[in-house]
Amino acid sequence: MKAVLVRQLSLDLSGVELAEIERPEGEVLVRVRSASLNYPDLLMTQGKYQFKPELPFVSGLEMAGEVVEAPADSGFMPGDRVRGGAKTGAFAEYVALSASALRKIPHGLDFSTAAAMGAAYHTAYVALVEIGGLTAGQTVLVHGASGGVGLAACDLARALGAKVIAATHREDKIEPIRRIAQPDAVILNTGRFRDDIATLTDGKLCDLVYDPIGGDVFDESTRCVAFGGKLLVIGFVSGRIPEIAVNIPLIKGFSVVGVRAGEYARRFPDRGARIAEAVDRLAAEGRISPYIDRTLPLTAWQAAFEAMQRGEIIGKLVLEP
Kindly tell me if the per-residue pLDDT of 108 is higher than 90. no
Rounded CA-CA distance 127/289 in Å is 18
Rounded CA-CA distance 240/219 in Å is 11
Q: What percent of the chain clears pLDDT 90, i.e. is strictly above it? A: 93
Mapping DSSP onto H, E and C, the string for the chain reads CEEEEECCCCCCCCCEEEEECCCCCCCEEEEEEEEEECHHHHHHHHCCCCCCCCCCEECCCEEEEEEEECCCCCCCCCCCEEEECCCCCCCECEEEECHHHEEECCCCCCHHHHHHHHHHHHHHHHHHHHHCCCCCCCEEEECCCCEHHHHHHHHHHHHCCCEEEEEECCHHHHHHHHHHHCCCEEEECCCCCHHHHHHHCCCCCEEEEEECCCHHHHHHHCCCEEEEEEEEECCCCCCCCCCCCCHHHHHHCCEEEECCHHHHHHHCHHHHHHHHHHHHHHHHCCCCCCCEEEEEEHHHHHHHHHHHHCCCCCEEEEEEC
Question: Matching CATH topology for 2-105+291-320 and 121-262?
Answer: yes
φ, ψ of residue 63 to 5 degrees: the values are -155, 175
| Residues 146-155, mean pLDDT to the nearest whole number | 96
Domain ranges of the chain: 2-105+291-320, 121-262
| Residues 129-136, mean pLDDT to the nearest whole number | 97
First-residue to last-residue Cα distance in the chain: 10
Q: How confident is the model at residue 242 (pLDDT cuts 50, 70, 90)?
A: very high
Q: What is the CATH number of domain 2-105+291-320?
A: 3.90.180.10
More confident residue, 108 or 254: 254
> pTM above the 0.85 mark?
yes
For residue 107, the model assigns a pLDDT of 86
User: For residue 250, what are the contacts with CB-CB under 8 A and spacing of at least 6?
Assistant: none
Rounded CA-CA distance 121/176 in Å is 20
Q: How confident is the model at residue 262 (pLDDT cuts 50, 70, 90)?
A: confident
For residue 118, the model assigns a pLDDT of 87
Task: List, for residues 2-61, the tens digit of each pLDDT value.
Answer: 999 999 999 999 999 999 999 999 899 999 999 999 999 999 999 999 899 999 999 999
| Residues 279-302, mean pLDDT to the nearest whole number | 95
For residue 11, the model assigns a pLDDT of 93
Q: Which architecture, in CATH terms, is 121-262?
A: Alpha-Beta Complex (3.90)
| Residues 156-185, mean pLDDT to the nearest whole number | 97
Kindly tell me if the per-residue pLDDT of 239 is higher than 90. no
Rounded CA-CA distance 319/173 in Å is 23
| Residues 203-229, mean pLDDT to the nearest whole number | 97
